[in-house]
Amino acid sequence: MAGQRKLYAEIKDGILDKTWEEAASSAWILAEISNVNHYQNDAPEYQKFADRLSADAVSLARILEKKEQPAALEAAAKIGQTCSACHDKFKKE
């Protein structure tokens, strides 16, 4: 999860700084790394969170490639909400 947090921070910084290529690259990596979440927990709801995170990161990457800051901020917030909802239910720290 620490790697995912780092990527998410890079994406948010990239949106604010308008470093679109770097932010998009981090979003694509986040989409792929999110697929690894499937190996963390077998619960169906957890699997849905993992799928949603990956799909939302792909959507964000495509928005970032178009350099659409308001839409990128909204898409990033959606990812943050997915992460928070999953952590609220499944995080054991």
Span 43-64, pLDDT tens digits: 999 999 999 999 999 999 999 9
Cα–Cα distances (Å) from 62 to 52, 71, 77, in that order, read 15, 10, 15
Q: What is the pLDDT of residues 4-45, one digit of tens each?
A: 999 999 999 999 999 999 999 999 999 999 999 989 999 999
The pLDDT value given to residue 92: 65
The pLDDT of residue 1 is 77
Rg (CA), the chain: 13
Which pTM does this prediction carry? 0.91
Cα–Cα distance, 83 to 67 (Å, whole number)? 24
| Contact criterion met (CB below 8 Å) for 46 and 40 | yes
What distance in Å separates the CA atoms of residue 79 and residue 15, rounded to the nearest whole number? Answer: 14
Structurally, the chain folds into a number of domains equal to 1
Strand, coil or helix: 32: helix
Cα separation of 8 and 39, whole Å? 20
Domain enclosing residue 7, as ranges:
2-90
